[in-house]
Amino acid sequence: MARSRVALVDSGGTNIGSVRYALDRIGADARLTSDPAQIRAADRVILPGVGAAGAGMRRLREAGLVEVLREVEQPLLGVCLGMQLLFDWSAEDGGVECLGLLPGEVVPIPRAPGLRVPHMGWNTLTAVRNDPVTAGLPDGTRAYFVHSYGVPVTSDTVLTTEHSGTWSAVVRRGNRWGAQFHPERSARAGARLLTDFVLEVTP
């Protein structure tokens, strides 16, 4: 069986190499690219990212990828900042228009006694609804997070996590998924999510 061709969008994030290695370990044919033709031809598309929304969207605009990503029809997974960029708007950097692939706004995580922001470290996941990409992540699974902004729970939320409130940890609308945590740093949980996205989702 041919390996799934995964277009790993070159968004300039420092986690790209780690995401690519994680995909290699599960047997995916992952190609780092900013070429619209390669993105459109792939079986799966993954948008990684770390840092701020403004810089992330600026890199996508400069690479001519905003409309390309908006038009992608195959399964698309945003990771960390990549997930946040799937939404309409981010309050970061004074307000940033994002890709608008999922409705909603990314907001700052409020500070609370005994809880630091950014939310950094391992935290547990709780299912809101079933999904093939998260079928192998039962309640209580721990994943690794690093973020100061988050997506409130919406009708697209699949998994949640708690940190000074309840936040979307995995979202899905149609053929578009997002994971707020870092699968490439989340050991078996991250490998399982990537495996199910690459192998189990029907285009």
- Out of 80, 92, 119, 147, pick the active-site residue: 80
The pair of structure tokens assigned to 50 is 């770390």
Under DSSP, is residue 164 helix (H, G, I), strand (E, B) or coil? coil
Give the span between the Cα atoms of 189 and 198, in whole angstroms. Answer: 14
Out of 119, 147, 163, 182, the active site residue is 182
């989702």: which residue's tokens? 201
Distance set, CA 141 to CA 1, 73, 124, 126, 183 (Å): 31, 30, 5, 8, 12
| Residue-by-residue DSSP string for 63-85 | TT-HHHHHH--S-EEEETHHHHH
The verdict on whether 184 is a catalytic residue reads: yes
Tokens of 43: 């079986």
CA distance 164 to 148: 11
Active site residue 98: no
Instruction: Answer yes or no: 163 catalytic.
Output: no
- DSSP string computed for 133-162: GGTT--TT-EEEEEESEE-B--TTEEEEEE
Q: Which of 92, 119, 147, 184 is catalytic?
A: 184
Could you give the residue numbers annotated as active site? 80, 182, 184
